[in-house]
Amino acid sequence: MKRLICAFALLILISSCGSNRKSAEQALLDQVDSTSLTDTGISEEVISDIIQQIPSPLEISVLLKEVGTEYDNDILNAASNTSKYNSNYKRALNLGIYGTDLGYTNIYSQNQDALFYLKSIRDLADGLSIGQFFDFGTISRLATNSNNLDSLLLITTQNFNKINSYLQEQKRSNLSVLLLAGGWLEALHISCQVNEMNGGNAELVEKIGEQKIILENIMLLLSFYSETDPSISKLMENFTELKDVYDQVEITYTYEDPTYEVVDGVLTIVDNSSSSINITDQNINDITRITASIREKVIN
């Protein structure tokens, strides 16, 4: 019986050693990034569900190229700005911004600029201890040949998805939220600037108006951290100004039952629903101005 108790105690000891090791790892992570201690009161699962709704900024970059606008790196955040970003808050926001800039340069096959942005992304990702999820070697190699665009976009998107998943797993969702907010802000800024330079483009105007939906999600995500994180609270204040304008934008949705067709074995749905955006020139001007102003604070 004594031996049985000894064996049982040994098993418990082994199990508890495992959990102690886990706690030590967690403690180290918490030390590396004190913002991860933020208690939002909201479950990680809920936050993760909202985060994954945010669309990729790549969709906007593809639209910009499709509407025939020229590549313009003056509207991007200079790749050389990385040295300005010394806090995790700034690093995460600007990692998102550079991610969008990289996608934009990739879509336009601007290989040299893409390499500059890759270096900036590596520096910021390393600063946030997430550099291991970015395959810089492969991406750099792919970026030097414009025939590799599909693979380049795939790997870049996968890497950013992995970073987001990792941050959420490590209970550092606040950084994931900032990364997405930065990426979205940059995509909106580029759209607004391109729209302004082209004297107003119907598709771009609609795309800018649609961002009302994304802004609502981002504001919701930021609100989970705003009470405990002064930087996020300040950012949310800035976004509130933008939201005030977006509140004037109307999105109308009409549902109709879908139909479908199968052509050569491929199932294609015919979406009979529709949506329209009611947005004025003044709204667009205000959104352009406020977005540029928020971004200015973020990148400097």
Residues in the site for another protein, rule: CB under 8 A? 3-4, 7, 11, 49, 52-56, 58-59, 62-63, 66, 150, 153-154, 157-158, 161, 203, 206-207, 210, 213-214, 217, 251, 253-255, 258, 260, 262, 266-275
Q: Give the span between the Cα atoms of 102 and 118, in whole angstroms.
A: 7
Q: C-beta of 162: minimal distance to another protein in Å?
A: 10
Residue with Cβ nearer another protein (83 or 254)? 254
**Residue 269: CB minimum distance to another protein, A:** 5
Q: What is the spatial distance between Cα 189 and Cα 193, in angstroms, rounded to a whole number?
A: 6
Which residues face 261 on adjacent strands? 268
For residue 244, the minimal CB distance to another protein (Å) is 21
Q: Between 257 and 281, whose beta carbon lies closer to another protein?
A: 257
Tokens of 254: 């009409």
- Closest contact distance (angstroms) between CB of 237 and another protein is 24
Q: Which is nearer to another protein, 25 or 49 (by Cβ)?
A: 49
- Six-digit token pair at 137? 């070697």
Shortest Cβ 208–another protein spacing (Å): 12
Closer residue to another protein, CB minimum distance, 39 or 265: 265
Pick 127 or 209: Cβ nearer another protein = 209
Q: Are 278 and 252 in contact (CB under 8 A)?
A: yes
**Is the CB of 199 or the CB of 265 nearer to another protein?**
265
Residue 36 vs 100, nearer CB to another protein: 100
Shortest distance (Å) from residue 28 CB to another protein: 26
DSSP bridge pairs for 269: 260
Residues 282, 270: Cα–Cα separation, whole Å: 35
State the minimum distance, in angstroms, from the CB of residue 225 to another protein: 21
Nearer to another protein, 66 or 247 (CB): 66
- Min dist CB 43 to another protein, Å, is 15
